[in-house]
Structure 1
Amino acid sequence: MASADHGKGKRWQVRYRDASGRQKKENFARRGEADARAAVVETDLNRGQYVDPREQRITFKEYAERWRQMQPHRGGTAANVERCLRLHAYPVFGDRRLVSIRPSEIQAWVTGLVEVRCFTAQTARNSAAKVKQVFNAAVRDGVVQRSPCAGVKLPSVPHTEIVPLTAGQVGDLASVVPHRYRALVILGAGTGLRPGELFGLQVKHIDFTGRTVKVEQQLQRVPGGKGVHVCPPKTRRSHRRVPLSGIVATSLKEHLDNFPAHGQDFLFRNERGEPIHSSRFYEQIWRPAIAKVELPKGTGPHALRHSYASLLIAAGESVKVVAERLGHTNAAMTLNVYSHLFPESEDRTRAAVDTAFGALAAECAPDVPSQSED
């Protein structure tokens, strides 16, 4: 229960206990101000909406940094979140009190990312998502009553269909990359592993007898520094065993004959025998290769994964199997990316219905009386 009475120094004082039971005191010069504050505090406490006055003074940057450092983000994600907030959000909202930021200001910022700073719609949405996470956490902590991100309209992302590499293009890439990376290109297109999963493979993960590759880790660059580190795959479903075709297995055997490695050794290493990571591979190996075979400039190593998915779909594999091979969280994700590659099924649907109900259609056909001869 909040109460207002005459406090020390002839000032009016509001005393109450917050949601955690700690006693709070606030002083006012006039009784009317104290009574009004006491009523607000009591109402907020009863509704579970009380916010400590000290928390109301915290800035967006102060709270966002506190939130960011507590998140269980992996290296790459942590670096991405830090960079996004530092470059895109803090220059606009960093010094503002968290409770003072209004929905209209968030809307203007998001719109400006596209129309003024010329960000792509997807980049603007990603930036907005991180700011929204900060405010959602602030709501859960009781620092703000509601998020100003609620109801903000985000730019729509144009639909683009994945155009997978053909088998010929994969072959061309394998022929122009340095010899030590040819098997990596073939393995990527023949198993659909993500780039980080490819770089994280050790010899022990290849089962030539059972003709499978085990995915249980990935290799990522150390955020903000040099070197790499081993970390778990992207999601729980990313832990998987992927079949090795004969062509892929032969390519890996030839690779190990030319670049011997054993047990805990990484399967793919640079000229100095060191593990490699995606950014260096992209700049030094991949970009020159796609230029040589005249592929579009934006084609990334992920294109090998798309090529694998398209091969499975063309071979008639179900959505469930494709999702399992790719390590997707669920089949819906697979359909969202590759739905345009699945063959049209209208004719199969019609044929299935006609087959199932063909006999019924014959039974329901109207009887036509036979004509007698005159």
Structure 2
Amino acid sequence: MQIFFVYRGVRCRESLRLEPTAQNIRFAENLRGEILRRIENGSFRYIDYFPESPRAKLFGFVVTKKSVGDLLRAQRQAHQAAVTNGQMSPATADGYRKVIAGRLMPKFGETALADLSPALLREWIAELGVTAKTARNIVSVLRSTLDDAVNDELLEQNPLDRIALKKLLARTTKKSTYQVDPFDASEKAAIIAAAEGQARNLFQFAFWSGLRTSELIALEWPDIDWVNGRVRVQRAVVVKTEKDTTKTEAGTRDVVLMPLARAALESQKAHTFLANGRIFHNPRTGTPWETDGQIRKTCWVYVLKKAGVRYRNPYQTRHTYASTLLSAGENPWWVAGQMGHVDVEMIFRHYGKWIPNHHDGGYRFANDWSHGKGVPVAQKYTQSTRDEDENPGSLAG
């Protein structure tokens, strides 16, 4: 059986491969009527009705037998080329590789590109069982792959564009369990006391500089300005590869060299200063650290166990730095700059409870407003102390 219709001025004839029974004839009549209605309202897509027809390609609907796996393998090659050309960091490419190999290939590797429907993708996203941030990272890799397929005219439209992702993630993803969990003063002292040699220098410097682990690993002796007491943070080591930039643009910064951080560097001089290269080395190998995993497995786990301190990962040294400064009353904007944040949003989101005015569930005024005019509390205290020193007993009662 065949049906005839005119589409875009072209007379079309398509076979239905059905026996000419009365029931099939009625089906063909209804199908032709549906096609004519869609042609009239502009929603007809040739490939939806006749995916094997050569006319689908004639009308701009590419018929492809490629699988999603074919596209993902091509995407992986493109990532590797981008790393070689310096257009993508090795860490970013490695993250994409893990998503492709661990998430996308097992699910869609054998799926025909033509079968990748919004319904299929919606069901997959709903079953990921990860946080919203992780889900977005996974979906973004697939979106990029499918965008390339659209540009290559293998797809007319990216099926992910037909999914309300924000609403879907709000219903199906789980909350992040990661917590900022800094060490208190006694824990910090116990860790530094339990560590020895280069490990002690590394941990003490980490606690009092707030650098990311990747920045600590990449730090070099020429980055230290001993005269002005500054540390220039301008590179990072990720996946054993040095990047000439930090995590963010604001991450390239000058960090004030606090006394205990300076003392750690002075002690570290005996080990690596003459080489004029990387500051912190693995004491077991005598070579610079390459990954945060090396630090964790080589000495961090052992030192915390020896110190009797509850385990947290080494990145919590950065959180400890921030909470220590904020709880002592340092300016949040200044702390944000020291940590490489572009503004104070992250500071208030993650460390707000350590800012003094947020303690005990209430707000503590920085000024005395009893006379209708703000007088800084610290200034009032200083003046009161001065009066007491000059006139003993004047403040009695």
Q: TM-score, normalised by structure 2?
A: 0.68
Shift, 1:137, TM fit: 6.1
Note the aligned Cα RMSD (angstroms).
Answer: 3.7
Match of 2:304 among 283, 290, 299: 290
Of 96, 103, 108, which residue of structure 2 is paired with 1:81?
A: 96
% same residue: 19
**Aligned equivalent of 1:192, options 168, 189, 210:** 210
Q: Which amino acid in the other structure matches residue 289 of structure 1?
A: V
Partner of 1:266: 278
AA partner of residue 88 (structure 1): R
| 246-255 or 60-69, larger mean C-alpha shift | 60-69
Change in 2 beyond 3 A, CA 1:149/1:273: farther
Counterparts of 2:317 and 2:286, CA distance in 1 = 24
State the partner residue of 2:294.
280
Deviation string for 1:255-303 (max 9, x for gaps)? 102443343x110122443221212111112122222223334x11101
- 1:252 matched to 2:257: no
SS at match of 1:53: coil
Task: Tell me if 1:54 matches 2:62.
Answer: yes
Q: Displacement of 1:332 after TM fit?
A: 1.2
For residues 90-139 of structure 1, what are the alpha-carbon distances to aligned partners after superposition, in whole Å with 9 as ceiling and x for unaligned? 2112222345334443343344343xxxxxx43x7414532244226635
Given candidates 318, 323, 335, the residue that maps to 1:305 is 318
> Quick check: 337-346 or 246-255, which moved more?
337-346
Q: 1:229, CA displacement in angstroms? A: 3.3
Are residues 1:134 and 2:134 paired? no
Mean Cα deviation higher: 82-91 or 182-191 = 82-91
1:234 aligns with 2:240: no
Report how far residue 64 of structure 1 moved.
Answer: 3.6
After TM superposition, give the deviation of residue 159 of structure 1 in Å: 6.2
In the alignment, the residues of structure 1 paired with residue 70 and residue 341 of structure 2 have an alpha-carbon distance, to the nearest angstrom, of: 36
Q: 2:222: which partner in 1?
A: 204
What pairs with 1:159-178 in structure 2 (closer than 5 Å)? Answer: 161-178=179-196
Counterparts of 2:37 and 2:68 in 1: how far apart (Å)?
25
Q: State the shift of 1:248 in Å.
A: 1.7
Equivalent in the alignment of 1:105: 120
Aligned to 2:23: none
- 1:343 is matched with which residue? 356
Tell me the number of residue pairs that the alignment of Structure 1 and Structure 2 aligns: 317
* Equivalences for residues 328-367 of structure 1 within 5 A: 328-345=341-358, 346-348=362-364, 356=372
- Unmatched 5+ stretches in structure 1: 13-31, 115-120, 223-227, 359-374
2:193 alignment partner, SS class? helix
CA-CA distance at 1:337 after TM superposition: 1.7
Kindly state the Cα deviation for residue 339 of structure 1 after the two structures are TM-superposed. Answer: 2.1
The one-character-per-residue Cα deviations of 1:147-182 (angstroms, maximum 9, x if unpaired) are: 146342341315664221123222322233341121
What's the offset of the Cα at 1:242? 0.3
1:323–1:329 contact (8 Å) kept in structure 2 = yes
Structure 2 segments unaligned to the other structure (5+ residues): 1-6, 15-31, 46-56, 375-397
User: 2:188 aligns to what SS in structure 1?
Assistant: helix
Letter in 1 for 2:322: A
Alignment partner for residue 200 of structure 2, among 168, 182, 193? 182
Matched to 1:109, the amino acid is W
Q: Which amino acid aligns with 1:206?
A: I
The aligned counterpart of 1:364 is: none
| Residue identity opposite 1:92 in structure 2 | K
Q: Does 1:4 align with 2:10?
A: yes
Cα distance in structure 1, aligned partners of 2:274 and 2:350:
36
Compared with structure 1, are the counterparts of its residues 37 and 3 closer, same or farther at alpha carbon in structure 2 (3 Å cutoff)?
A: farther
Q: 1:342 to 1:185 in 2, by over 3 A?
A: same
